[in-house]
């Protein structure tokens, strides 16, 4: 297997992109990544997307976008793994280059949701749960995560207000990200007074529905510097799974797939957890950020929320998370999120994150989670 590096990145601003169809967003991001990479050819294209069939009525999205980019004839596949589609697509592109089957792989994550009524979006998202035993019983994804938050608060005697630091941190970081959706600071008072969605999750615990696309070009590490002065090495790529339904889990709050995926990634990278200088975590809900930190081994069980309280997750903290706003404030266009995470980690490792730059960033970890923890893709990246 060959070492693989990121040589190009591209992204579009996240928001309500009613002006363009889904493949336009993908094309915009893909062209930006190709331009940034200076690659003269692309051998394969992988697109991560969850809802194009359900919402846009568009299958063969990868072929459509690849054609519109001007790459007709090139291998093109769409990868669907719910909210982890972007991370799964990146892994497929990485494996293609690492195996030697291709030299230049283009991977894009794209999602367009805001053209549709809320009930259609909710139905599309909850299709990533157990159709017979969760969604058929009326559970939405907010409700499913509310179950987790209720149990956590009961198990560890934690108050809802103890989660406030996570969305507050996300909104603060998004202020300096021109691609983020939410450019406003959030106060603790606003968090505590926000409208309840599914008790105990309120509106400000939740990431927004939005549209977006981001893309990356991968190449063999031994030629990466021919194309960029800022190559970023992919040190590890790992995926793990768990049951879709919460009631089938061995440990409701343990997120075993998160723990396994992270452990496999650090083993591949030959690194310790404390070597990671930043973590692009899944903060689709405040509770998922806390559970993710604990499952990855960055905090003891029941103590993940302390990292927010103590400032450990801030840009100057022990383990900065959501450095450009995270899912909560940058936005969560579900199939694109995993690629946005890797693009943002790459900016940090290139030293090009502007006012949000993490000092001396050399190692970054990204974790893209599908469902309520049923499909987890973890990547470890290193500045070359």
| Active-site residue set | 83, 332
Task: Give how far the C-alpha of residue 141 lies from the chain's centroid of Cα atoms, to the nearest Å.
Answer: 17
Query: 3-state DSSP: the chain helix, strand, coil percent, rounded to 5?
Result: 40, 20, 40
- Distance (Å, rounded) from C-alpha 84 to C-alpha 364? 18
SS3 at position 153: helix
- Distance (Å, rounded) from C-alpha 85 to C-alpha 48? 5
- Distance (Å, rounded) from C-alpha 52 to C-alpha 168? 32
Residue 16 buriedness (CB in 10 A; 0-12 / 13-18 / 19+): middle
Number of H helices, E strands in the chain: 11, 11
Structure tokens at 337: 């999120």
> Could you tell me if 379 and 366 are in contact, meaning their C-beta atoms sit under 8 angstroms apart?
yes
How far CA 236 is from CA of 91, 133, 303, 342, 381, in Å, comes to: 10, 35, 27, 13, 7
């Amino acid at each position: 297997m060959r070492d693989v590096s990121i040589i190009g990145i591209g992204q579009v601003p996240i928001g309500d992109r009613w002006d363009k169809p889904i493949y336009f967003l993908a094309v915009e991001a893909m062209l930006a990544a190709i331009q940034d990479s200076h690659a003269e050819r692309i051998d394969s294209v992988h697109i991560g997307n969850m809802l194009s069939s359900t919402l846009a009525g568009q299958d063969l999205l990868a072929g459509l976008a690849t054609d519109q980019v001007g790459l007709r004839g090139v291998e093109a596949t769409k990868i669907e793994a719910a909210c982890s589609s972007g991370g799964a697509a990146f892994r497929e592109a990485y494996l293609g280059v690492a195996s030697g089957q291709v030299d230049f792989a283009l991977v894009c994550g794209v999602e367009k949701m805001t053209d549709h009524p809320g009930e259609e979006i909710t139905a599309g998202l909850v299709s990533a749960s157990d159709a017979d035993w969760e969604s058929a019983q009326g559970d939405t994804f907010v409700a499913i995560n509310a179950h987790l938050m209720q149990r956590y608060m009961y198990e560890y005697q934690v108050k809802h207000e103890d989660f406030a630091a996570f969305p507050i941190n996300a909104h603060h970081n998004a202020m300096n990200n021109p691609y983020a959706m939410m450019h406003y600071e959030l106060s603790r008072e606003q968090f505590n007074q926000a409208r309840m969605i599914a008790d105990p999750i309120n509106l400000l615990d939740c990431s927004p529905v939005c549209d977006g696309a981001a893309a990356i070009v991968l190449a063999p590490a031994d030629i990466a510097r021919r194309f960029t002065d800022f190559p970023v090495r992919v040190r590890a790529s790992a995926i793990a799974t768990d049951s879709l339904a919460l009631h089938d889990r061995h440990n409701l709050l343990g997120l075993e797939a998160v723990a396994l995926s992270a452990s496999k990634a650090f083993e591949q990278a030959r690194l310790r957890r404390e070597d990671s200088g930043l973590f692009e975590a899944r903060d689709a809900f405040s509770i998922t950020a806390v559970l993710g930190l604990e499952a990855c081994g960055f905090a003891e069980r029941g103590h993940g929320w302390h990292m927010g309280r103590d400032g450990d997750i801030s840009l100057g903290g022990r383990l900065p998370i959501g450095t450009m706003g995270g899912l909560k404030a940058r936005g969560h266009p579900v199939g694109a999120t995993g690629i946005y995470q890797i693009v943002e980690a790459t900016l940090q490792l290139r030293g090009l994150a502007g006012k949000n730059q993490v000092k001396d960033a050399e190692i970054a970890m990204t974790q893209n989670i599908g469902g309520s923890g049923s499909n987890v893709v973890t990547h470890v990246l290193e500045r070359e």
